[in-house]
Every structure is written in C-alpha cells, then in structure tokens.
Amino acid sequence: MTYIIIGGSSGLGRALAEKFAAQGCELVLVSRDARDTGALAADLTIRHGVAVTPVAMDLAGSPLPFDALDSVLGNHAPLKGLLLPAGVNDDADKVGLSAEKLAFLSRVNYLAPCELLNHYLPLLEKNSGVIIGFGSVATARGRSRNAAYAAAKNALASYFQSLAHYAAGRGISCQYYVLGYLDTNLAFSQTLLFPSASPGRVADAVYRNRFRNGRFFLPRPWYILYRIVQLLPWAVFRRLTF
Amino acid sequence: MSSGLVRETRFTTFDGTLSLTTAHQRPDRFCHLESPDPTRHRIPRGGGYAYSAASFGESSLVQDLTCFNRFLAFDAATLTLKLEAGVRLIELMEWALPRNLYFPVLPGYPLITLGGCVAADVHGKNPYKDGTFSDWVKQLTLFHPQKGYITCSATEHPELFAMTCGGYGLTGVITTLTLQLTELPAPALTLSRYSVANPAAAVDTLSTHGTDIAYSWHDATPGAHFGRGIVFSGRWSQCLKQPASLKFRPMTATSRARLPFSAWNGVTARIANAAVLLHGRYKHDNPETGVLDTAFPFASNVYFHKLFGRPGLRETQFLVSEVNIGACLEAVQKLICDTRAPTMMLSLKRFRGRQTALSMSGTGWLLALDCYRNERTDAFLGQLDELLLAMGGQVNLSKDSRVSQDIAAHTVAGLAEFKRYLFAYDRERIMRSELSDRLGLS
Ligand SMILES: Cc1cc2nc3c(=O)[nH]c(=O)nc-3n(C[C@H](O)[C@H](O)[C@H](O)COP(=O)(O)OP(=O)(O)OC[C@H]3O[C@@H](n4cnc5c(N)ncnc54)[C@H](O)[C@@H]3O)c2cc1C
Ligand SMILES: NC(=O)c1ccc[n+]([C@@H]2O[C@H](COP(=O)([O-])OP(=O)(O)OC[C@H]3O[C@@H](n4cnc5c(N)ncnc54)[C@H](OP(=O)(O)O)[C@@H]3O)[C@@H](O)[C@H]2O)c1
C-alpha cells in the first residue's frame, strides 16, 4: 500500500515517512526541494527496503502540478493514504501582513492541502483509504501573532470537518490532528512556553490511529491548554503576549 | 520556509571546561544549510562530543548537522556505503551488523557523528591494526558557503581531501561521505583482561598481542600503586548471536555535568581504581562480548564521566614514537608522583596512521591521561606539555581543550602546512571555532 506525504522532507512529515516506511508502506514524498526528499527516499529504501519516490512540488503555486504526482503513483502499489503535514509560518505574520504573504500562508496551509485532498478523494474512496490533516493549537483563539497561519489552519480544520461528514459511511478514514509544539525547525528559534514533543512520538501515534476517525490533540495535554485559552475572559486574554 | 531558523544556544565542551552562547542553526533541508549569508562565520557541529571547543566559537554560527543523517547508497559489490555526515556511529552499526557488515574504526561513544569522525580523524580500539578513520573514507562532499559543493577523494581534489580529514570543520561542512565497510569477521568478540604492574608492562604485552582489540587502562593516581592496570585484548569469536542494538541513555556535555560538584578527588579516584583493578583480576576472561558493547564502553558506563560533575575534567592525549615511549612513561610517572598530580586514569594504545591536517597520527603509542580539576590541574598539564615537547610527541586537539598556539606549533605535526593551505583556500576564513581562534587559524 502506498501513502503520499505532502511535506515529507522534514519535521513531522519526515518522522511520518520513517514510521510508515519502517512498517513496510510504500511512499511518495512531496516537498519543494527534491534533494531533501531524494535523500530521504534513498535512506528509507536502504534501511527498510520499501519503494519511495520523491516529487518536487511547491504548494504555493497554482494550479498544483498534479501530473507529476499522478504519474509516479503508477509505479507504486495502490494508494492507501494521503498525509498532509506540510505547513509554514512566518515571523512577520501579524495582523496587517502583506497581501503576498497572506496569500502564501493561505495557499500552503489551507488551499493546497484541500486541493490535494479533493484530487485524491475519488481514488481513496475506491481504496477505502485514509486522509490525515494537521492543525495547530495556535488556532485555539486568534492572536495578533500567527494571524494568517491560524486563520488558514482554522479553515483547514473546518474543511476536515466537512470531509468527515462527507466520508461517513463511504469507507474513507479521516483524521485531523491539532498539534502542540514539536521539536522541528518550524519552532526552532521561538521561545516556547512548554516543552516540545518529538516528531517521532507524534508519528507513532498517527500510525497507530491511522484508521480511526475524528479530531485528536497531540500530545494530549494540549487539549486542556487549548480549552483554557478559549475560555479565558477577554479582559485577561487581551493582555497576553504569547 | 520559516524565517526563524536560528536561535541562541549555550554550548559546552564535553570536558565541561568552556561554555559560550552563540547563534545556532539546525538545518534539516539543503536550503537551510545554504541560507545564512555566505560571509557569515560559521562552524559545523556533529554530536558535540569533542572535549575541546572545536564545534562552536565566539560570533560563529553553529550549523548542527545531526538532521543530515540519511543513508544514500550502498554498493554490495565493493561494500561501500554513502551516507550523510550527521549519521551517528550507532546508526551505522545498527544498520551494518544485521547485514553482516562491519566498520572497524569506532571511537568510544555511540552518538558521535561520522562528520565529527572525519574532522578529528578519530581512532578506534586498535589503531595499530585498523589505522584511523580517514583510512576508511573513500570520498567526501563538502559545502563551503562561498565555493558551493565540492567532491573530493584521494584522486579528486586530493589536497582538499587530506586537509578535511583532521581539518576540524575548517575547510567546510562535510555533507556526505563514502565509507569502506568490511564483512563482519564474526558475531562477537572474546575480550580477555590481563593485569599488569605498570604501563611499561602494558606496552610489552600490547606489542606482542596481535589481537583485534588492544588497549590498556591504568591507575594514574600518584603513589606506589601508580600504573597498575589491565590490558584489554579482544579476538573475534563465533560464539554469540550478535545483539544488533545497544541499550543506553544518551549522555551529552550538558547531562554529563549535572552533578554540581566533582566526586573525584585523590581518595575517591584511588578507591574507584582499586575496585576496577579488583574486578579485572576476577573477571579475567569474558568469553563473548557484543561488538557494540566492546566498541562503545562509555555507553553503559557513564559514571566515570558524570562524576566529574560541573567542574569538569581535563583530558590530554598524545602520541609518542616507539623509540620514546619507554622514557616518556618513566618521565610521566615521575612528574605525576613528584607533583602529586590530580590524575586519575591513564590509557595506552599502539598506533599507526597517516598524519593529515591537524590530526594526531603516525606510528607510535597513544597515551591518554584524565585529570579531575583542582588548583593544580592546569599547572601539572603545563609541565606535561613541556615533557611532550621534549619527547617530540603529537597532541590530540579533540581531546585537549587547552592547547595553546605555541604548544600546537610544536605538537601538531601538520599545523604549519594546514595553515598555509587554509589561508590560500579560504582567504576570508569563513569557518571558525574557538579552536581555530586559539590556534591562530581564524
Ligand atoms: C566518551 C567519549 C569517548 C571518545 N572516544 C574516542 C576514541 O576512542 N577515539 C577518538 O579518536 N576520539 C574519541 N572521542 C572523541 C570524539 O571522537 C571526537 O571528538 C569527535 O570529533 C566527536 O565527533 P562529534 O560528532 O561529536 O563532533 P563535534 O564534537 O560536534 O565536532 C568535532 C569536530 O568535528 C567537526 N565536524 C562535525 N561535523 C562536521 C561536518 N559535518 N563537517 C565538517 N566538520 C564537522 C566540528 O567542526 C569539530 O571541529 C571520544 C569522545 C567521548 C565523549
Ligand atoms: N513545529 C511546531 O511546533 C508545530 C506546532 C503546531 C502545528 N504544527 C504543524 O505541524 C505540521 C508539521 O510541521 P513541522 O514542524 O514538521 O514543520 P517543518 O519541519 O517546517 O516541515 C514543514 C514541511 O512542509 C513542507 N512545505 C512547506 N512549505 C511548502 C511549500 N510551499 N511547498 C511544498 N512543501 C512545503 C516543507 O518542505 P520544504 O520546505 O522542503 O518544501 C516540510 O516538508 C505543520 O502543518 C505545522 O503547521 C507544527
């Protein structure tokens, strides 16, 4: 069975690739630079003996070049899953962001994952496959920081809710993970309030749960913080500077 | 790409004697590696297990290569394996052993990276038989921010290749390397222990044992018992089914130094050494030892390093010629006993290798001394430096964090040539560390 990992070059995407390959799954790894996914593909093939194909694709581009992706699928076992860990943030992401950056963050974090999901939905429906999306605790409540990122991830979360509704009874599994801090480059330079989780541990949980449906928090304690932030009185919340 | 790829991190040498805060990047994609301004000073970092500040420095961006740890190609006909430089020794061995493959030059800690091994041209448990790390490197790819990617080997850019093996990251970031593996000679090792009265006796024993593993360990506390020790001698053995993984809790420079004080002093060092000697006497032969346990003795045995605590330790390691080893051992013993030096442990290995760049290599005997730190430590090591100069020895820059430019000028065989090469190759001296600053190479 083959899984496509969008954003499979680094961080959580790479950890997912390592986990799924170790379990014998074939993979198609997508990111902007084929040097990264090419190296990872070689590594997974050498270590785990599975077929892995790298594909270079920029999610910021529109329309997405599906042909390249579709053509490599022909060399693989049937498609079983689409994993969408790609994501991007920007230190300048505050209310008042430039139109160009706003469009970039919206495309990579929301529109492109939805387009990919739509494109492979019929095939995954046929194969009783899985679709897995990834959001962030940054969506708990809009703040001045990460404004466009959180908005895009909220939109993605809503789209996954619609997908879950659509998928019910159609044999597709659909999951959406709301993630806390991860020890990856996305947050490497940020001063974090809490310890960050190892992407490997998150990938283990995602693999274990891959045929379940629903929305999950990882690591789980983040659910409590997420709710606390949502329930904070406005008079307190507006003073927070995180 | 996220713009926030750099943070400030406090780095500490493994010996705990020097710390500083500097910019830190952990590239996990090629574009990250290439993203800093090409004129910005930087230094690559592997596992951070050098005892000296070779992988960080004042105002130098530390590029941590540990995410560049992918296996790239294996040629089963030639047994060559191409990997990224951030691969750790344990990852290499856990891949190789189940495939009946082996790599002979393994320094003592499993989380050391291959890039760090090339950069310090490290040695394993029997350098006399196996040579040093660079003897097993077929090809390297380097990234230099102003020159791009360069592939080098003994035949392609041979001078750059030689200056990178033992070049402490100063010629650029090693991104990939191709290693020559061998077939695994046997699934396990038989490790024998021989008690010896002094280091000179160990030299005799090690000279006559043509074994696969060969080194000795000695009590180096001053006094009548100075030098009593154990010779470790290992041969491949067919007996045991090889355990392909090693269970250990990672130790870093930070976790090594958790204890706020040093538990080692004249008394505790003597007691610990006596216990080790006693143990060695009764555990004479250990019939089957796993390859990984033998290669990485410090993985499960972390107390030796951890008990030096926050004050840290000083290690000095040097290579002395076959001719001078006898006189050197006598002089070292005299110095230690006369000055009541804060020395704890001494070890010996017979050595053979090709000296390149800043590496400590050649033919002779490697002598390592570990000291706990007190007000006499640095004065003692200063006197030892004088002795080393008199003996014409070479110092190991990765194990000794205090070697000055003056001492290095006489004890690092390739320093002058390396400096000449480096200043012609990279006029702006982009790659910099505390080590390069200290040796006048920045
Ligand atoms: C417990 C212990 C046991 C040891 N046993 C031995 C032993 O038996 N034999 C021995 O020879 N040594 C031994 N060492 C020393 C160790 O092997 C060396 O210091 C080695 O260089 C550490 O590698 P590292 O990956 O930790 O690199 P670091 O300590 O991070 O860096 C060391 C040097 O390598 C350079 N470097 C790292 N990665 C790259 C790269 N990708 N490209 C270019 N340069 C790079 C750095 O710039 C720096 O100059 C031991 C150390 C410890 C802590
Ligand atoms: N890290 C955290 O603390 C954290 C917290 C909450 C949620 N999350 C979410 O978790 C997911 C994984 O994040 P991570 O930490 O693993 O991030 P990461 O290490 O930065 O990886 C992001 C991945 O997305 C890919 N990507 C980014 N922009 C792209 C583009 N334009 N086109 C194609 N691919 C692109 C990257 O590939 P290239 O750059 O090579 O193209 C990379 O593979 C993301 O959705 C993120 O929002 C992360």
> pLDDT digits over B52-64, tens only?
999 999 999 999 9
Residues of chain A with pLDDT > 70, as a percent, come to: 100
Quote the radius of gyration of chain B (alpha carbons, Å).
21
Between A and B, how many residue pairs show a Cβ–Cβ distance under 8 A?
66
With CB atoms and an 8 Å threshold, state whether A39 touches B84: yes
Asked if omega into B110 is within 30° of 0 (cis), the reply is: no
Tens of pLDDT, residues B353-381: 999 999 999 999 999 999 999 999 999 99
Quote the radius of gyration of chain A (alpha carbons, Å).
18
Which candidate, B205, B257, B339, places its Cα nearest to that of B10? B257
Q: Compare all CA atoms of chain A with the CA of B4 and give the residue at the minimum distance.
A: A189
Which candidate, B220, B278, B82, B123, places its Cα nearest to that of A39? B82
Q: How many domains does chain A have?
A: 1
Longest CA–CA span in chain A (Å) reads: 57
Tens of pLDDT, residues B259-288: 999 999 999 999 999 999 988 777 666 667
- In chain B, list all ranges with CATH 3.40.462: 188-408
Q: What is the mean pLDDT of chain A?
A: 96
**pLDDT score recorded for residue B284:** 62
Tens of pLDDT, residues B85-131: 999 999 999 999 999 999 999 999 999 999 999 999 999 999 999 99
Count of Cβ atoms closer than 10 Å to residue A2 Cβ = 23
Tens of pLDDT, residues A160-185: 999 999 999 899 999 999 999 999 99
Residue B9 burial class via C-beta count within 10 angstroms: exposed 0-12, middle 13-18, buried 19 and up: middle
| Residue whose tokens read 């077939």 | B183
- For residue A15, give the H/E element and its range: helix A11-22
Work out the average pLDDT over B202-227. 94
Residues of chain A with pLDDT > 90, as a percent, come to: 94
Confidence of residue B2 (pLDDT cuts 50, 70, 90): very low
Work out the average pLDDT over B18-40. 97
Residues of chain B with pLDDT > 70, as a percent, come to: 97
For residue B283, the CA-to-ligand 2 centroid distance in Å is 53
B408/B419 Cα distance (integer angstroms):
12
A201 in contact with ligand 2, CB cutoff 6 A: no
**pLDDT score recorded for residue B403:** 97
What token pair was written down for B420?
């000449």
Mutate to test the interface with B, among A33, A46, A97 (most CBs of B within 10 A): A46
Tens of pLDDT, residues B382-418: 999 999 999 999 999 999 999 999 999 999 999 999 9
**pLDDT score recorded for residue B241:** 64
For residue A88, the CA-to-ligand 2 centroid distance in Å is 5
**pLDDT above 80: residue A20:** yes
Bridge partner residues of B12 (DSSP): B19
Q: Considering the entire predicted model, what is its pTM?
A: 0.96
Q: Is B286 helix (H, G, I), strand (E, B) or coil?
A: strand
Confidence of residue B155 (pLDDT cuts 50, 70, 90): very high
Chain B residues touching A188 at Cβ < 8 A: 2, 4-7, 25-26
CATH architecture classification, B71-184: 2-Layer Sandwich (3.30)
Confidence of residue B153 (pLDDT cuts 50, 70, 90): very high
Domain of residue A52 covers: 2-237
B414/B418 Cα distance (integer angstroms):
6
Q: What is the mean pLDDT of chain B?
A: 95
Are residues B351 and B405 in contact, defined by beta-carbon separation less than 8 angstroms? no
CATH architecture classification, B188-408: 3-Layer(aba) Sandwich (3.40)
ipTM over 0.85: yes
B232/B238 Cα distance (integer angstroms):
19
Which candidate, B386, B402, B394, places its Cα nearest to that of B358? B394
The more confidently predicted of residues B322 and A194 is: B322
Torsion angles phi and psi, residue A152, rounded to 5: -65, -40
**pLDDT above 60: residue B4:** no
Instruction: Give the contacts of B149 (CB within 8 A, at least 6 positions apart).
Output: B141, B142, B143, B175
Per DSSP, A198 falls in state P
Q: Is B376 helix (H, G, I), strand (E, B) or coil?
A: coil
Work out the average pLDDT over A97-119. 97
B197/B153 Cα distance (integer angstroms):
45
Are residues A109 and A53 in contact, defined by beta-carbon separation less than 8 angstroms? no
Bridge partner residues of B82 (DSSP): B73, B178
B1 in contact with ligand 2, CB cutoff 6 A: yes
**pLDDT score recorded for residue B281:** 75
**pLDDT score recorded for residue B289:** 79
**pLDDT score recorded for residue B231:** 94
Which CATH number characterizes residue A199's domain?
A: 3.40.50.720
Q: Is B76 helix (H, G, I), strand (E, B) or coil?
A: coil
For residue B434, the CA-to-ligand 1 centroid distance in Å is 15
DSSP string, B160-216: HHHHHTTSTTTT-EEEEEEEE-EE---SEEEEEEEEESSHHHHHHHHHH---SEEEE
**pLDDT score recorded for residue B1:** 38
Reported as half-sphere exposure (CB side, CA atoms, 13 A), residue A201 has a value of 12
Q: Which of A88, A146, A181 should be mutated for ligand 2, with most atoms under 8 A from CB?
A: A88
B413/B360 Cα distance (integer angstroms):
8
**pLDDT score recorded for residue B280:** 78
Tens of pLDDT, residues A130-169: 999 999 999 999 999 999 999 999 999 999 999 999 999 8
What token pair was written down for B137?
């490197």
Whether A242 is in a domain gets the answer no
Are residues B48 and B142 in contact, defined by beta-carbon separation less than 8 angstroms? no
Spell out where B253-410 has E strands: 285-290, 313-320, 343-351, 364-372, 394-395
**pLDDT score recorded for residue B285:** 63
B424/A9 Cα distance (integer angstroms):
37
Confidence of residue A241 (pLDDT cuts 50, 70, 90): confident
Work out the average pLDDT over A114-132. 97
